[in-house]
Amino acid sequence: MIGQGALLSGYRLATALLEPAAAGLLVWRRQRGKEDPTRFAERRGYPGVRRPDKTLVWLHGASVGETVTLLPLVEKLQQRGLAVLVTSGTVTSAKLLAARLPAGVIHQYLPLDVPRYMRRFLDYWRPEIGLICESEIWPNLMIEAKKRAVPLVLVNARMSARSFRRWYKAPKTSRYLLSCFECCLAQSQGDAERLAQLGAPRVSVAGNLKFDVPAPPADADMLAILDGLTTGRPVWIAASTHPGEDEMVLSAHLGIKPHLLKLLTIIAPRHPQRGPEIEELCEANGVAVARRAAGRTPDAQVEIYVADTVGELGLLFRLSQVAFLGGSLVPVGGHNPIEPAKLGCAVVHGPHVQNFSEIFAAFDGDGGSRGVADTQELAATVHGWLSDPASARQAARAAAQTSARLGGALTRTMQAIEPLLMRVALGQRDAAS
Distance CA 268, CA 265 (A): 10
432 vs 276, which has greater pLDDT?
276
Q: In this model, does residue 432 exceed pLDDT 60?
A: no
Chain centroid to CA 77: 20
| pLDDT for position 162 | 86
Q: Are residues 287 and 160 in the same domain?
A: no
Residues 212-219, mean pLDDT to the nearest whole number: 93
* Residues β-bridged to residue 325: 239, 349
Mean pLDDT of the chain: 95
Q: Which position among 66, 128, 144, 303 bears the catalytic label?
A: 66
Whether residue 263 is found in the same domain as residue 148:
no
Whether 215 is covered by a domain: the verdict is: no
Residues 6+ away with beta carbon under 8 Å from 336: 65, 210, 325, 356, 359
pLDDT at 431 over 70: no
Range of the domain at 273: 220-400
Q: Based on the domain organization, do 395 and 256 belong to the same domain?
A: yes
Judge whether 379 lies within some domain.
Answer: yes
Arithmetic mean of pLDDT, 263-277: 97
Confidence of residue 369 (pLDDT cuts 50, 70, 90): very high
In a domain, 192, yes or no: yes
Domains: count for the chain: 2
Is residue 2 one of the residues assigned to a domain? no
Q: Is 418 one of the annotated active-site residues of the chain?
A: no
Question: What is the C-alpha to C-alpha distance for residues 396 and 247, in angstroms, rounded to an integer?
Answer: 26
Is residue 139 domain-shared with residue 104, that is, in the same domain? yes
* Side chain identity, residue 278: I
pLDDT at residue 6, as a whole number: 85
Q: Provide mean pLDDT across the span 338-363.
A: 95
* Banded pLDDT at 143 (limits 50, 70, 90): very high
In this structure, is residue 380 part of a structural domain? yes
pLDDT on residue 433: 53
User: Average pLDDT of 281-292?
Assistant: 98
Residue 37 within any structural domain of the chain: yes
- Statement: residue 291 has pLDDT above 50: yes
Question: Which of 247, 214, 211, 246 lies closest to 362, judged by CA?
Answer: 211
Asked if the structure places residue 307 within a domain, the reply is yes
Taking residues 67-75, what's their average pLDDT? 96
Whether the CB-CB separation of 35 and 89 falls below 8 Å is answered with no
Q: Do 303 and 356 have their domain in common?
A: yes
Q: Are residues 238 and 90 in the same domain?
A: no
- Residue 155 phi/psi, 5° resolution? -100, 150
**What confidence score (pLDDT) does residue 3 get?**
62
Which pLDDT belongs to residue 427?
Answer: 65
Q: Where are the alpha helices (DSSP H) in 198-293?
A: 220-230, 245-256, 275-284
**Do residues 256 and 284 both lie within one domain?**
yes
Q: Do 204 and 233 lie in a common domain? A: no
Residue 129 shares a structural domain with residue 199: yes
Examine the domain organization and report whether 266 and 344 are in the same domain: yes
pLDDT band, very low/low/confident/very high, at 161 (cuts 50, 70, 90): confident
Q: CA quadruple 92, 96, 98, 103: dihedral positive or negative?
A: negative
State whether 292 and 422 are in the same domain.
no
pLDDT score at 366 = 96
Q: Are 380 and 315 in contact (CB under 8 A)?
A: no
Residue 94 in domain: yes
**235 pLDDT above the threshold of 70:** yes
| Band of pLDDT at residue 261, cut at 50, 70 and 90 | very high
Give me the CATH number covering residue 119.
3.40.50.11720
Whether the per-residue pLDDT at 351 is higher than 90: the answer is: yes
* Residues 98, 22 share a domain: yes
